[in-house]
Each structure stands twice: as C-alpha cells, then as structure tokens.
Structure 1
Amino acid sequence: MPLNDAVGTVVPGSDARNVDTVFIAGQVRKWAGDLLDVDLAALRDEAAASRDRILNARA
C-alpha cells in the first residue's frame, strides 16, 4: 500500500498479465491480452539457446 498513491499501489502488484493493450509508435503490439506479430515458440527457443551459451561459456 499506500492507498493515497494509486501508481505506487497498483504498479508493484502488476505484471504482463494485467496489461490488455499496448501501442508502440502508433502500432498495436498487444491487443485483448494477446501479443501480435510475435512467434513465442521461437522467442522461447532463442532465450533458451542464449542461456545455454552463457552457461557453457562459464564452464
């Protein structure tokens, strides 16, 4: 809390699931809770490959 600060109350308790719509430079990037023009499976694969490269470099 503080209840007298709406942003300070809401923002820390929020995450991406609480965002319905996003516009970037006038372009819709998220609508009705769904990301647009994003291949989530490919993004997950890229993130996992990046993690693996980092972990292997430390070994």
Structure 2
Amino acid sequence: LGEVFTTNCAKCNKKQGQDTRAALRKLRERKPQLFLEIFEKYDAGSKHLDGFLIWLKKK
C-alpha cells in the first residue's frame, strides 16, 4: 500500500489500478477515519495525500 499511496499506483497495470481505486474509494466512503489511519501508516505526514485523492477521483 505504501507504494500505491506514494506513486498513485504507477506500477499497476490497468486492471490493478481500477481494482485498487475502487477498493480504496469504498474504504474512504464507508470508513473515512480508517482510511486516513491506514494512509498515515504508509505515508507518514500524509505528504502524498492531496495527489492521491486526485488520482482516486479519476475514472
């Protein structure tokens, strides 16, 4: 997850990117506090949060 959060799934193939985006969107919608806790665990200081949220909103 750390690499997904910091690189916006740059090494993922198309299917992996779609599945990862869908799963993390659902987590963020249903359990926003848990999403932020997990993000903070893998990206201390949430330095990549803004860019990741932009990536997450893409179709």
TM bucket, shorter chain: 0.3 to 0.5
State TM-score, norm by structure 1.
0.32
Which has the higher Rg, Structure 1 or Structure 2?
1
Whose strand fraction is larger, Structure 1's or Structure 2's? 1
| Structure possessing the higher relative contact order (Cα contacts under 8 Å, 6 or more residues apart) | 2
More helix by share: 2
